[in-house]
Amino acid sequence: MKKIISGIMISLTIIISGLSISIMFLGSSAYKNNELVYILNYSFSVVPTESMIGTASDSLNPGDMVIIQNSPFEDVEIGDVIVFQDQVNINGTPSNILIIHRVVDITSNGELVTKGDNPLNQIDPHPVTASTYQGSYYAKVIFMKPIVQLMLSSRSLIFLTLIAVLVILIIWELAHMYKTIAKTKKLQIEKKHEAELEKIISQEHDKIYQEIIIEEKLKNDKKIIK
C-alpha cells in the first residue's frame, strides 16, 4: 500500500510540475504577445485600474480577479463586459495593453464600441474587432481579492516565495528519489546475501550429508570384515 501511495504522489508531483512549467511558458508567451492564457476555455485576470468602477452588478474595482471566457466574437452583445487589445500612450510611448470595458454599441460593420463604467471615462477611441477581441467577462472571484491585493503590493516577495517553494519541492523529490533508489539497492544486496547464504548452507548441508553417508558406509564395511 505504501508503494502505491508513494507512486501516486510521485506521479501527481510530476504531472503538477509539468503543468506548472507548461503554464509558465504559455504565460510568458502570452505576456509578450499581449494575450490571455486560456485553460479549458477560461482565463483569469486582475483589474488594474479604476476604469470599471460603477453601479452595475458586473462593475469592477481595482484588484478584482475576474474569470474570462473564450466565447466567440459574434456572440458579444451590447452590455457585455469584454477584454480586448488596444494601443495606448504610456508616458508618451505607444504600448499594447489588455483592457476590460463594457460594450455600449455595435457598428454597422460589426465592430464593438466600448467604454469603462467609470463616469469619468469616455468612449474608447478604437472599436474592437475580431482580431483585437480576447474574451468576455464570465464571473468575479470575490474571496481572492485580499490575496490578489497582497500579490500586487508584494510581487517580488510572492515571486521569491514561489521560487523557494518550487526549489523545496524539487529538493524533496530528489531526496525521495535518492532514498527510494538507495532502499531498492539495499533490498537487492540483502536478497543477494540471503541467496549466497542459502547456497552456502545448502552446500554445507550436502557436505555433512555426504560425510555421514561415507561414515556409515565405513562402519558397515568394518562389520562385514569382522
Q: Average pLDDT, whole number, for the chain?
A: 77
- Considering the entire predicted model, what is its pTM? 0.55
Angle at 185 between CA 179 and CA 189, to 5 degrees: 140
**pLDDT tens profile 26-58:** 444 444 556 787 878 888 888 888 999 999 999
For the chain, give me the number of helices (H) and strands (E)? Answer: 3, 6
Give the span between the Cα atoms of 207 and 225, in whole angstroms. Answer: 27
Span 135-188, pLDDT tens digits: 999 998 776 555 555 555 555 555 556 666 667 767 777 777 778 788 888 888
**pLDDT for the residue 136:** 96
d(CA 51, CA 102): 10
Taking CA atoms, 107 is separated from 87, 101, 102, 112, 121, in Å, by 20, 16, 15, 6, 20
Q: Are 60 and 140 in contact (CB under 8 A)?
A: yes
Judge whether 24 and 126 are in contact, CB under 8 Å.
Answer: no
pLDDT band at 5 (very low <50, low <70, confident <90, very high): low
E strands, the chain, where?
Answer: 42-46, 65-69, 81-90, 93-106, 112-115, 133-141
Look at the chain and count its residues: 226
pLDDT of residue 110: 95
CATH architecture of 36-142: Ribbon (2.10)
Position 133 pLDDT exceeds 90: yes
